[in-house]
Structure 1
Amino acid sequence: MNLTISGHHLEVTPAIREYVQTKLERVKRHFDQVIDIAVILTVDNLTEKEKRQKAEINLRLAGKTVYVESLSHDLYAAIDTLIDKLDRQVMKYKSKVQDHDHQAIKHMPEAEQPSAA
């Protein structure tokens, strides 16, 4: 699995990198068939009052790409909500992939035919 963490208008410090990696362990624990992860952390300086922190992630799985983004005033809060959203989407995808409890048509009981009298 490849992990890429990049920052736009932001230097990715070792503390931020470690925080993202520890948060991604939760997603990897739930679904281990991850091919590639690209995390983009952005700081938008609109005005001094409205500094906005944005975290985005592209998660490539076998057969699907999951994209999630999160905005907040604090970068760590944006990362937390990003991981929560990502975890929900990965669990939903995992349940769709592993949902094999439906019965095939040939094994379903036939409806009773009305007898011709």
Structure 2
Amino acid sequence: MQINLSGHHVEVTSSLRKYVDSKFSKLERHFDHINNIHVVLTVEKLNQKAEANIHINGGEVFASAVNGDMYASIDTLVDKLDRQILKYKGKIAQH
């Protein structure tokens, strides 16, 4: 699993990168067929926004989250992606 992390109007620090890596490792435990993850962190006035596009075998999953704190928006983003991946995994198991 390769994570591409970029920032828009925000500097991506090493602590922020480590936090994203630790949170997204949770997704890999639930679903092994994740090829690539592209994460964009954005600051818009008072809103901290996190977006992610995950390339998996057979499709893509996208989610975004906005919060006042960047770490909280990353947490919300990972929760949304986790639900979507588990839903996708359930669809694959039914076929």
Question: What is the TM-score with the length of structure 1 in the denominator?
Answer: 0.79
Structure 2 partner of 1:105: none
Instruction: Give the counterpart of 2:74 among 79, 82, 85.
Output: 79
Work out the percentage of aligned pairs sharing the same amino acid.
48
Indicate the SS of the match to 1:67: strand
Question: Alpha-carbon deviation of 1:8?
Answer: 0.2
Stretches of 4+ aligned residues off by more than 2 angstroms:
none
The one-letter amino acid of 1:6's match is S
Structure 2 partner of 1:56: 51
Question: Alpha-carbon deviation of 1:38?
Answer: 0.2
Q: Does 1:8 align with 2:3?
A: no
Structure 2 partner of 1:21: 21
Cα RMSD of the aligned pairs, angstroms, is 0.7
Structure index of larger Rg: 1
Q: Does 1:65 align with 2:60?
A: yes
Q: Name the one with the larger helix percent.
A: 2
Question: Alpha-carbon deviation of 1:52?
Answer: 0.3
CA distance in 2, matches of 1:61, 1:17: 21
Indicate the SS of the match to 1:32: coil
CA distance in 2, matches of 1:97, 1:17: 31
Pick 1 or 2: higher relative contact order, CA cutoff 8 A, min separation 6.
Answer: 2
Indicate the SS of the match to 2:11: coil
Question: What is the TM-score with the length of structure 2 in the denominator?
Answer: 0.97
Q: Name the one with the larger strand percent.
A: 2
CA distance in 1, matches of 2:91, 2:58: 12
The one-letter amino acid of 1:77's match is A
Q: List alignment gaps of at least 5 residues for structure 1.
A: 46-50, 101-117
Question: Alpha-carbon deviation of 1:2?
Answer: 2.0
Q: List alignment gaps of at least 5 residues for structure 2.
A: none
Question: Alpha-carbon deviation of 1:69?
Answer: 0.2
Indicate the SS of the match to 2:86: helix
